[in-house]
Amino acid sequence: MVWTKEEFSAKVRAGQQIKHPWKNAFHLEMPFGLINDPNGLSFYQGKYQIFYQWNPYGCEHKQKHWGHVATSDFIHYTEPVLAMKPDCWFDKDGCYTGCAFTENEELHVVYTGNVRTETMERQSYQCLAKAEADGTLSKEKILIERQPAGYTAHFRDPYVFFRGNKKYLLAGIQTENLAGRLVLYRETAGKWELVGEIATDFNAMGYMWECPNILHFRDEDVIVFSPQGLKAERYQYQNLYQTGYAIGTLDTEKAVFSHGKFTELDHGFDFYAPQVMEHEGRKLLLGWMGMPERDAEYPTRENGGWMFSLTIPRELVLKNHKIYQYPAVELEKLRQKEQSSVAKGAHSWEQVLPRQAEIELRICLGKAKKIAYAFYFGAERLVFIYDDTEKSMVINRTGMKLGGRGIRRFKLDCKGELHVRIFMDRTAMECFFQQGEEAAAILYFPEKECVPELSVQADEDWNQLTCKC
Ligand code: FRU
């Protein structure tokens, strides 16, 4: 079954009319099928261009197409189009993740063509395509055929960047000894040559690294990537797969990255494979709100026929040798009426919330050492517990009935004042702790449509609580 452009467009329009209580209002998602990684993020012809992995024909991780929307304000989006189909021999089993760049005033994308042969052998091709005015992509050629010697066919997710007048490409790869790595290529006279495997200090960090991105802040490089195969620890690596970054300097001549530690970008349950674009000095990240191989944790498949969302755009800032994340200022335009309340010298407080809200919670700890705030949806609840003795935050989803549950724990030192900005959509929540120091993306699926309540409890009286929403 292959839909024509018209059939497809009719289905998108019809799908967008369906009001399902779990459909998010300001998180990007598709009316049907499965989406995952954001792809080809760029700014072109006055608009942010957002491509993403999309299987429009079902909620399985197969038949990966690229979808596309554009926006100038992150509030209004164009109608989703199918930008690219896996219809060539070199991408027949998926147009996998890739990036976009502008050259000669044209927008190009480089992506991975995924192939499974009759004997189920995997093959990977890094391919070039060009964007047309309507958001569709025309495939041009294969840039890199298969993987270099010494690696498996897990070679994907190209990210093109420029240094001086040279063009480079970074991609995730797996060694024949099953270790995750990055490789660097350079273009010379239209040909892509391998500079080498990027030497790092991360020699035992999982069996595959996906979706690398490189950012440049003043004199530092930041490489963001998604390693697979890290063991969960008390305060980190608690999802099946991770996403984080390291700060340092990439020597593009020698393919050496001198860097600091690997730091996770998000501590929620549902965050993976983000991509970053740069425009007018801002670095904006969109991530996939989902997790590979955890499909059973997302009830929208059976009850709705769509899966996953993208995060809101987050601006990345490098400060104190750390990446801070802020919701893009554009989202302030979503605010409608504001209510604010203050509770002094108390240890319990509650408030009814609108079904979607931006919430700013600030609690001056005072004597309190443990603060729990919970979103109640009838009898179900999503709980956050800050522990000032342990200097940690716990997100507890075990009080929800449907979808993934469990606990996530990470280090957080609120230094006397807990500050959280929460973007609560209908099933997607993103939290920014301590002015962007930490972030958490969480999907939650209240069984019954009901008015949420926010309730805060502490072990002792706090000095002051303020809540704006
Ligand atoms: C990450 C990923 C990428 C791949 C794509 C396929 O979620 O596995 O490595 O290109 O998804 O959809």
The pLDDT tens digits of the residues spanning 73-84 come to 999 999 999 999
Give the rounded distance of the alpha carbon of 68 from its chain centre: 16
Q: Report pLDDT digits (tens) over 253-304.
A: 999 999 999 999 999 999 999 999 999 999 999 999 999 999 999 999 999 8
Predicted pLDDT at 77: 97
104 conformational bin, left if phi > 0, alpha if psi -120 to 50, beta if neither: left
Q: Which atom belonging to ligand 1 lies closest to the Cα atom of 53?
A: 12
Which residues have CB under 8 Å from 329's CB, separation 6+?
315
End-to-end CA distance of the chain: 46
Rg (CA), the chain: 22
Q: Is 350 helix (H, G, I), strand (E, B) or coil?
A: strand
Q: For a substitution probing ligand 1, which of 36, 152, 308 has the most ligand atoms within 8 Å of its CB? A: 36
Residue 15: pLDDT band by 50, 70, 90 thresholds?
A: very high
Return the active site residues: 37
Spatial distance between the Cα atoms of 420 and 131, rounded to a whole number of angstroms: 39
Atom of ligand 1 nearest to the CA of 211: 9
Q: Is the CB of 64 under 6 A from ligand 1?
A: yes
Q: Atom 6 of ligand 1 has which residue's CA nearest to it?
A: 96
Under DSSP, the state recorded for 231 is: P
Rounded CA separation 127/144 (Å)? 7
Over 90: is that where the pLDDT of 1 sits? Answer: no
Distances (CA, A) of 397 to 208, 235, 261, 272, 302: 28, 16, 29, 18, 21
Contact 381, 429 (CB under 8 A): no
Look up residue 241 and give its DSSP letter: B
Parallel/antiparallel/unpaired status of strands 244-251 and 208-217: unpaired
Is pTM, for the whole model, over 0.85? yes
C-beta of residue 15 within 8 angstroms of C-beta of residue 23: no
Decide: 112 in ligand 1 pocket, CB within 6 A. Answer: yes
Give me the sign of the Cα torsion angle 177, 180, 184, 190: positive
Residue type, 415: K
- For ligand 1, is residue 49 a contact (CB within 6 Å)? no
What is the number of other CB atoms lying within 10 angstroms of the CB of residue 414?
Answer: 20
How far, in Å, CA of 62 to CA of 76, rounded? 29
Question: Is there a contact between 31 and 309 (Cβ–Cβ < 8 Å)?
Answer: no
Count CB atoms within 10 A of the CB of residue 178: 12
**The token pair that represents 71 in the structure block:** 């926006």
**Would you place residue 133 in the very low, low, confident or very high pLDDT band (cuts 50, 70, 90)?**
confident
* Residue (of 304, 265, 269) closest to 285 by Cα position: 265
Tokens describing residue 389? 């003795």
Residue 5 confidence (pLDDT): 85
Choice from 30, 35, 37 to test ligand 1 binding pocket (greatest atom count within 8 A of CB)? 37
Alpha-carbon 245 to chain mean position: 13
Task: Using the predicted structure, report yes or no on whether residue 135 has a pLDDT greater than 90.
Answer: no
- Residues 6 or more apart whose Cβ sits within 8 Å of residue 104: none
Nearest-angstrom CA–CA distance, 370 and 393: 10
- Ligand 1 midpoint to CA 462 (Å): 45
Summarize pLDDT for 412-442 with one digit per residue, the tens.
999 999 999 999 999 999 999 999 999 999 9
- Alpha-carbon gap, residue 443 to 405, rounded angstroms: 10
Model confidence at 134, pLDDT cuts 50, 70, 90, reads: confident
For residue 126, pLDDT over 80 is answered with yes
Query: Residues 241, 228: contact at Cβ < 8 Å?
Result: yes
